[in-house]
Amino acid sequence: MYDYQQRMSRPTGPDYVDTSGAQGFFEDGWLMFSGLMIFFVGFWNAFEGGLAFLRSAYFAGTPVFGSLAFWAVVWIAIGVLEIGLAMLIMRGNNLARWAGVAVVAASTTIHMLGIVVYPWWSLFVMALDLLILYGLIVHWGEREAAAC
């Protein structure tokens, strides 16, 4: 009647998609980490920019140059770019990876310049940005090598 091998074998055919194992992007934990952290750092940068517009008393000092409103616009712009690039990086877009490297490097530079305004969080974001850069630059080749 029922053969054990027949019951335990995998179905085949044009309508069957094997989803039993890790696929594509999620095989490398560093890429997953980089994509998610770019999203969260971008979200926080945008939130921080909105906070700078609405409640300037939340920040510790005065910016290195420009006004706090200028830095608010910069933080919002970098945050929105990071959120968009995170979505593309998690889809495996190679061009988004290079744009992500540039935007995360810009985020690090912006937080270095804004360390006077928001010291401890700027240090934390710079550390996260360096880990994101490590994941994007060093570990992307592993994904391409596995695809070949």
pLDDT in tens, 52-102: 888 777 777 777 777 888 888 998 999 999 999 999 888 878 888 889 999
Cα(32)–Cα(136) distance, integer angstroms: 10
What one-character-per-residue DSSP string does 56-82 give?
A: GGGS-S--SSS-HHHHHHHHHHHHHHH
Q: What is the mean pLDDT of the chain?
A: 78
- CB under 8 Å to 80, separation ≥6 — which residues? 42, 46
The Cα–Cα gap between 71 and 90 comes to 28
Do residues 74 and 110 lie in contact, with contact meaning Cβ atoms separated by under 8 Å? yes
What is the amino acid identity at position 20? S
Q: What does pTM read for this prediction?
A: 0.71
Structure tokens at 2: 């029922």
* DSSP secondary structure letter of residue 11: P
The domain segmentation of the chain, as residue ranges, is: 73-148
